């Protein structure tokens, strides 16, 4: 999503795709921010002036963005997320967004590791479903 897009566009994307965040990228595809459900709620609930959904996402987004690379080890991603109190970790390769690791992704990984090779059928279904 471009930095000048309104907050309403971010909300619509999150609802449409059932996701909790949208990464903000510049014209050169550089990650410049991330807007999350939490960011939106904090803006709605803070102060006496309610969030104007026409506000550009660049004004609401969390910055700077904590990122990982495709080579980041899973435990290092966990550590980064814990240290920085974040639930989403954009993955950057050669300066461009190539993915995002979420808390749920890491939780699924833990379940697989803990239960392998005998993941219970009910959990197997849950961890193989896309988020």
Pair 55, 109 in one domain: no
Helix (H, G, I), strand (E, B) or coil at 31: strand
Q: Output the pLDDT for position 38.
A: 87
Q: Whole-model pTM?
A: 0.80
**pLDDT digits over 107-123, tens only?**
888 888 887 777 777 77
The parent domain of residue 26 ranges over 1-65
Considering 13, 47, 65, which residue would you say is the last residue of a domain? Answer: 65
Peptide bond just before 64 cis, omega within 30 deg? yes
- Spatial distance between the Cα atoms of 58 and 55, rounded to a whole number of angstroms: 8
Residue 82 burial by Cβ neighbours in a 10 Å radius (0-12, 13-18, 19+): exposed
pLDDT at residue number 116:
78
Instruction: Provide the pLDDT confidence category of residue 52 given band limits of 50, 70 and 90.
Output: confident
Give tens-digit pLDDT for 54-70.
889 998 898 899 999 99
Considering the domain architecture, whether residues 11 and 42 belong to the same structural domain is answered as yes
> Residue 79's pLDDT is what?
93
Tell me the CATH number at 73: 3.10.580.10
Q: Residues 76, 68: contact at Cβ < 8 Å?
A: yes
Assess whether 30 and 75 both reside in one domain.
no
Please report the DSSP string for 52-119 in residue order: PTTSBHHHHSBSSPP-B-TT--HHHHHHHHHHHT-SEEEEEETTEEEEEEEHHHHHHHHHHHHHTT--
Q: What is the pLDDT of residues 16-28, one digit of tens each?
A: 999 999 999 988 8
Same domain, 129 and 89: yes
């Amino acid at each position: 999503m471009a930095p000048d897009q309104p907050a309403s566009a971010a909300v619509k994307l999150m609802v449409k795709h059932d996701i909790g965040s949208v990464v903000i990228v510049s014209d050169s595809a550089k990650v410049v921010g991330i807007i999350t459900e939490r960011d939106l709620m904090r803006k709605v609930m803070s102060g006496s002036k309610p969030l104007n959904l026409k506000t550009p996402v660049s004004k609401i987004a969390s910055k700077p963005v904590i990122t990982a690379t495709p080579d980041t080890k899973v435990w290092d991603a966990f550590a980064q997320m814990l240290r920085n109190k974040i639930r989403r970790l954009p993955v950057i390769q050669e300066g461009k967004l190539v993915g995002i690791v979420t808390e749920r992704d890491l939780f699924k990984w833990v379940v697989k590791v803990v239960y392998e090779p005998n993941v219970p059928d009910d959990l197997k279904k849950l961890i193989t479903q896309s988020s």
